[in-house]
Structure 1
Amino acid sequence: MFKPLFIRQFIWCIFALTLLIFSLGISWQASKATNFLYGFWYSTLQINEVISTNVPKNTQGKRDFPISDIKLHATKFADIVQSIHKHGDGLAEISYVNEQAEIQKLLTKSEVQHLQDVANLLDKVGYIWWINLIFMLSFLLLYFSKLKLLSVSSIRRMPTGKQKLASLICLVFLVVSMLGVWGFTQIFYYLHTVIFPGDHQWFFYYEESLMSTLMKAPDIFAAIAGQLLLVALIVAGIIDAALSRYQIKS
């Protein structure tokens, strides 16, 4: 009795992981369509203060960047978002017009290089999402299957709500514990050292980077991560609930 329950729980945990990855992809696309709610986070995180404080100190010759043009700030963020989703095309051409009506490049060479690394990473993540989709569809076939074989029917049943909740609580506890011990910023920085080439700059002070200033990095990334996770959990929850209801009726 214990073994089938354990296998059933284990299979659902793997399915839940594939479902979460799938849902994160959906959440990402929805957020991209809304420019990652930059306008909302711009106000909430008071990014305008970071811009007005640090642009006049810029060490890369970009002190002429308009600090009071909120629409321009959102547009430049959107330009970066669009470019990293197009394999990095156009990053070096992103520009702004200063008060003297002169066209200036928004990004330095190091920033372009870093954002190109981000674009390359997104391409790889895209491939992983499609591979994950195949695994998720395989699990859905299992759960939608109506085979009456004992070896299959005993494990194709989804766990109860309490069993799912117990698994989710354990996962949340693990994530919260990691964030509590190391903190989001430290984990964020560590992942950068692992993911990106060691000889490529990925950390930029506000005084040397319009990119970091416009984003109030890493604060906006923590906010977007929470936003992505919330939407993904809603999507995953709806799919899981629908599947559970189907199994109850079948």
Structure 2
Amino acid sequence: MLKLATITRSMVYNLLTLCLSVFLAWHILLASNFFYGFWHDHIGIAENISQYGPENIYRTGFADTSRDQRIDLFAQICHAISHQGAGLANIRYSVAEKGIESPLLHQAEITHLQDVANLITALQQFEPILFLLWLVLLGTMIAKSWALPSYRQLLLVNAIWVGAVAVLIAAVGWVAIFYKLHTLVFPDNHQWFFYYHESLMSTMMKAPDLFLYIGLTLSALATLLYIALHLSCGAIVRQWPR
């Protein structure tokens, strides 16, 4: 019975710390606009815009925008989706030499990004609760002199689910999983898949490629934060007066 309680406590600690690390990583990356400028230059986004921008059936001139303007447009999208979708319809791009001043997004894109904003808003409502539960658990462990899970225990638990995810991705493909999640999360009557020739949003993000790199960066940063949180908790537990 005691062993079961210890295992359960360790799993709850692991889950809360992991979720907290992901949320922290998300906010750090959001503040840096997910390093869009770097990805723009290194994963073919600039080339994607040059190729498909002129083919867009709703907008003209986007291929002639500057790198700085594209980074700013992406930053505006990031700000909007993290603020209940406010300002999505007001995002505009311009090409002065061609006299172009145009909204970036058409209505279907705005609707999709509003769905994304609604999802983010819903998830962020859990952050204070998550942080409070994490603090309560840590405080209880200190008060009752419970030892933190060992590195071996945490490595074993996380290796199991990481391995399961890796096998799933290898078997199905990350793009198929990415698309399936969209069908599960977003309303059936709202478009979420856009071909490049019908969406500057997809073109400037080279969707879904950009999201793979963002996901990998988020995972790496969350892992570092998880380690830092666990080390900090260990130091607090060891130094707390008994």
- TM-score between both structures, scaled by the size of structure 2: 0.92
Q: Paired residue for 1:71?
A: 68
Which of 25, 28, 43 is the matching residue for 2:26? 28
CA contact (8 A) 1:51 1:67 kept: no
Give the deviation of 1:18 after TM superposition: 1.2
Q: Number of residue pairs matched?
A: 239
User: CA–CA distance in 1 between the matches of 2:162 and 2:86?
Assistant: 38
Amino acid at match of 2:204: L
Partner letter of residue 79 of structure 2? Q
Q: What SS does the aligned partner of 2:102 have?
A: strand
- The residue that corresponds to 2:129 in the other structure is 131
Relative to structure 2, which stretch is displaced further, 68-77 or 189-198? Answer: 68-77
Tell me how far apart the structure 2 counterparts of residues 236 and 186 of structure 1 sit (CA, whole Å): 28
Query: What are the ranges of 5 or more consecutive residues in structure 1 without an aligned counterpart?
Result: 148-152
The answer (yes or no) to whether the contact 1:144–1:247 under 8 Å persists in 2 is yes
Which residue of the partner structure matches residue 182 of structure 1? 172
In 2, distance between residues paired with 1:82 and 1:178? 32
**Identity in percent:** 33
Note the C-alpha offset of 1:33: 1.3
- Structure 2 segments unaligned to the other structure (5+ residues): none
Mapping 1:1-250, distance limit 5 Å: 3-60=1-58, 62-67=59-64, 69-98=66-95, 99-145=97-143, 147=144, 156-248=146-238
Equivalent-residue separation in structure 1 for 2:19 and 2:150 (angstroms): 22
Alpha-carbon distance in 2 for matches of 1:161, 1:110:
47
C-alpha distance in 2 between matches for 1:51 and 1:167? 42
Q: Deviations over 1:60-98 (max 9, x none)?
A: 1x1321435111111111111111112111111111113
C-alpha separation between the residues in 2 aligned to 1:72 and 1:240?
40
Q: How far apart are the structure 2 equivalents of 1:164 and 1:18?
A: 12
Q: Displacement, 1:7?
A: 2.6
Counterpart-to-counterpart distance in 1, 2:197 and 2:74? 18
C-alpha distance 143-220 of structure 1, shift in aligned 2 (>3 A): same
Distance verdict in 2 for CA 1:227–1:181, change over 3 Å: same
Mapped to 2, the partners of 1:74 and 1:114 lie a distance apart of 20
Q: Is the 8 A contact 1:21 1:129 kept in 2?
A: no
**Offset of residue 57 of structure 1:** 1.1
CA distance in 1, matches of 2:7, 2:148: 8
Distance of 1:231 and 1:168 partners within structure 2: 16
